[in-house]
Amino acid sequence: MKLNKISLAVLCAISLSQHAFAADEPIDANNDTVNTDNIEKIEVTGSYIAGYNAHSVSGASRLDLAIIDIPQSVSVITEAQMQDFQLHDINAALDSATGVNVERIETDRTYYTARGFDITNFQIDGIGLPLTSGNNHADEDTAIYDRIEVIRGANGLMTGVGNPSATINFIRKRPTADNQLTVSGTYGSFNNTRIEADGSVRLNDTFAARAVAVTQSKDSYLDRYETDKNVFYVFLEANLTDDTSLSLSHSYINNDATGNNWGALPLFYTDGSATNYDSSTNTSADWSNWQVIKNNTVFELSHHFNSDWRLRATYSHKTTDEDTELFYVFGTPDKDTELGLTGYGSEYDLDDQSDLVDIYVDGNFNLFGREHQLVAGVNYSKMSYTDSSLYDYTTDYGFPEMPDLNTWDGNTPKPTFTDGLRGSDVTRKQQAAYFTGRFSVVDDLHVIVGGRYNDWQAEGESYEVNQDADYDKFIPYLGAVYSFTPELVAYASYTENFVAQTEADSVGVFLDPITGESREVGVKSELFNGRLIASLAYFDVEQTNIAVLDPETAGLPIDMQTYYGADGISSTGFEFEVAGEIYPGLNASIGYTDFDIEGDDTVAAYTPSKLLKFAATYDFETIEGLSIGMNMRWQDDISRNQGVVAEGFDNAGAEIITKQDAYAVIDLMAKYQITENLGLAVNANNVGDEKYINSLYWAQGYYGAPANYSATLSWKM
């Protein structure tokens, strides 16, 4: 019979409780004392450390390895950290991840980068679509996730394709061993109102369920911007036998935003000087709206053939429905009059559907007197989407001249979206086969060898551009971990990377795929009996033909922008991280990243090359139930070359450089457990009221949120 960790823990607890009530000397059925001298004794030891430390991740290789045994940089944003600092959306959560930069280009569209490259690989429970677009639309709630794993570097084993930046693996909540229910209510600045419920029930030895529900509505520091969000998640689990389990889960997220921007603020005047709008200034029309509904259904089967080998099969079906009415502002304003901008209205609708099947076996085997691990599997994914854009070329409302943004209240006549129908109808498929072997070469040396063969096809048309493409590639992976002591290891890894691109050049032809290599070496250590993990890594990444936005089209609407392939881009640098309990009662996650980008001056300029992330909480021993904490992120200065000053100015021909100085955003928290069931938490964000541009990823930008506050009351049964 195969025992999972929960079953083993229960059996151990039962056996210990039985032993506690037994006599000093065991007796048999005849009440005679039993001689225990020759009985084999089994001692079960283990530990679970709550807080900011995590012991293992699965997204790096599907081998359930301790973080110290993975030959790549790994961070985990734990549930405790998300709760402490009210990290309710993935943007806020990833702000806390070592080496990850969150590029907020618009209110409802976000990109993510690491080591100078876009993050394009996202997974749920280790399963994902590796070619999904790297930008996230709307607000993705974290309430349904137990933790978020960030595997930095090229993930050649599990995704096979994608940039050598990072893989984000969202681990969903599952039924717990005991029945439980948590209900919390939050109220904060900008009329932020949130109610969240999370419950788990174990019906019997066979069936268990967990459900999460969230409703949240809030205004914003941005003029006219409001959001309403509803989330529902249910996970049903059935242990059919001791060896076989089934699960069915579904998540529903409905984000309804009004007053959202499309594009952002102009960052310079016609004379080249920088604009400086109020943080609340918004380019959105008062009728703008963006509704995003996401549904994701996952079916899982797990079967243990014996104590060493397991099969896991997953089917995922995900749909997204987006309905928008958008307003874009482009041009360059005059410094004296603040005029010269033009509006641009569009109705955009998107429907996409993705299906994924992943089947693999994993287990242990003995060879040459040593135990090794192996994973082998196949993967099939299909993503289809249709979208459409409508404009107004008939009335004067489709492209209105804009007034001064400083005083504009968003009032502009709503266009009649009946003209210029354009759109896409695209299907992308990927078939893959992969394997990973972890081999014990000698007592202290483990080598991980693996590879993935990908066959990727696309067909269809997008905005009059043919999308037909067909690529195949084998991606090798090699890693090694050497243990100097059980607590200190050194590692090295190498993989190639491959990315099929859908960006088009100036004549509408797709760019060739990106190819490159990624190398990483480092050391990791478990300190204080495993309560703290520290790591130091050096990485060297090279890519060729990566798509770069043509600066001459940077100020145009997205569907009019073009790209070119860079001859070569490299990123080299180091990362340092510690996570866990560094002192009794003091939990911390500290990460520092420093790297240099060569080969693309534009990317190097707008990408922060130095990032410091710091989160810490302290539980007072003298005041039971009281904790305080701080969450801080710092980045160095960034800039973007916006062209040159036009003729007619005294400084004609001078370069226009938009700059954002280095800055830090500091959040504080305090919480108190009033009773065993009732707790109160208070959070203060950006307590220094720092004003900063969220991102220079695009030629436009908008400002981050000023100081804001919230209070949360939680009840747990």
Q: Residue 56: which pLDDT band, with cuts at 50, 70 and 90?
A: low
The answer on pLDDT for 2 being more than 50 is no
Q: Residue 511: which pLDDT band, with cuts at 50, 70 and 90?
A: confident
Half-sphere exposure of 57 (CA within 13 A, CB side): 32
Determine the average pLDDT of the residues in 313-322: 95
Q: What contacts 518, CB < 8 A, 6 or more positions away?
A: 153, 154, 156, 164, 494, 495, 496, 497, 539, 540, 541, 542
The answer on pLDDT for 104 being more than 50 is yes
Residue 409 pLDDT: 96
Distance in angstroms (rounded) separating the CA atoms of residues 325 and 339: 24
Q: Which region, left, alpha or beta, applies to residue 689 given φ > 0 means left and ψ of -120 to 50 means alpha?
A: left
Q: Residue 14: which pLDDT band, with cuts at 50, 70 and 90?
A: very low
Smallest CA-to-CA distance from 668 within 192, 85, 95, 191 is with 85
The answer on pLDDT for 516 being more than 90 is no
Residue pair 318/354 in contact (Cβ under 8 Å)? The answer is yes
Residue 161 pLDDT: 64
DSSP state for residue 401 in the 8-state scheme: B
Residue 158 pLDDT: 57
Torsion of CA 248, 174, 150, 135, to 10 degrees: 50
Smallest CA-to-CA distance from 422 within 393, 384, 464 is with 464
Determine the average pLDDT of the residues in 277-285: 97
For the chain, what percent of residues have pLDDT higher than 90? 72
Neighbours of 305 (CB within 10 A): 12
Torsion of CA 402, 405, 409, 413, to 10 degrees: 10
Q: What is the mean pLDDT of the chain?
A: 88
Residue 470 pLDDT: 86
Determine the average pLDDT of the residues in 100-108: 96
Residue pair 520/493 in contact (Cβ under 8 Å)? The answer is yes
The answer on pLDDT for 7 being more than 80 is no
Smallest CA-to-CA distance from 205 within 238, 176, 248 is with 238
CA distances to 49, 196, 232, 245, 585 from 622, in Å: 21, 31, 40, 46, 11
Q: Residue 19: which pLDDT band, with cuts at 50, 70 and 90?
A: very low
The answer on pLDDT for 685 being more than 70 is yes
pLDDT digits (tens, 9 = 90+) for 614-665: 999 999 999 999 999 999 999 999 999 999 999 999 999 999 999 999 999 9
| pTM for the predicted model, two decimal places | 0.89
**C-alpha of 551 from chain center:** 28
Q: Are strands 569-583 and 180-188 parallel, antiparallel or unpaired?
A: unpaired
Smallest CA-to-CA distance from 407 within 344, 327, 347, 333 is with 333
Q: For the chain, which domains are there? A: 56-417+424-716 (2.40.170.20)
The answer on pLDDT for 501 being more than 90 is no
Place of tokens 């009662």: 585
For the chain, what percent of residues have pLDDT higher than 70? 89
Query: Token pair of 318, please?
Result: 């995900």
pLDDT digits (tens, 9 = 90+) for 214-246: 999 999 999 999 999 999 999 999 999 999 999
Determine the average pLDDT of the residues in 343-372: 94
Neighbours of 482 (CB within 10 A): 17
Query: Token pair of 279, please?
Result: 């943080």
Q: Residue 133: which pLDDT band, with cuts at 50, 70 and 90?
A: low
Distance in angstroms (rounded) separating the CA atoms of residues 373 and 310: 12
Q: Which of 67-81, 138-152, 332-346, 440-454 has the highest mean pLDDT?
A: 332-346
The answer on pLDDT for 139 being more than 90 is no
Residue 58 pLDDT: 60
pLDDT digits (tens, 9 = 90+) for 394-412: 998 999 999 999 999 999 9
Residues in the chain: 717
Residue pair 536/575 in contact (Cβ under 8 Å)? The answer is yes
Q: Residue 275: which pLDDT band, with cuts at 50, 70 and 90?
A: very high
The answer on pLDDT for 27 being more than 50 is no
Q: Which of the pair, 51 or 79, is modelled with greater confidence?
A: 79
Query: Token pair of 243, please?
Result: 């060896």
Distance in angstroms (rounded) separating the CA atoms of residues 480 and 48: 27
Q: Which of 17-31, 97-111, 365-379, 388-402 has the lowest mean pLDDT?
A: 17-31
Residue 309 pLDDT: 94
Q: Residue 43: which pLDDT band, with cuts at 50, 70 and 90?
A: very low
Coil, strand or helix at 216: strand
Determine the average pLDDT of the residues in 431-448: 93
Q: Residue 269: which pLDDT band, with cuts at 50, 70 and 90?
A: very high
Q: Residue 552: which pLDDT band, with cuts at 50, 70 and 90?
A: confident
pLDDT digits (tens, 9 = 90+) for 166-222: 889 999 999 999 999 999 999 999 999 999 999 999 999 999 999 999 999 999 999
Smallest CA-to-CA distance from 609 within 75, 167, 115 is with 115
Q: Residue 156: which pLDDT band, with cuts at 50, 70 and 90?
A: low
DSSP string, 239-287: E-SSSEEEEEEEEEEEEEEES--BS-B--B-TTSPBP---TT-----TT
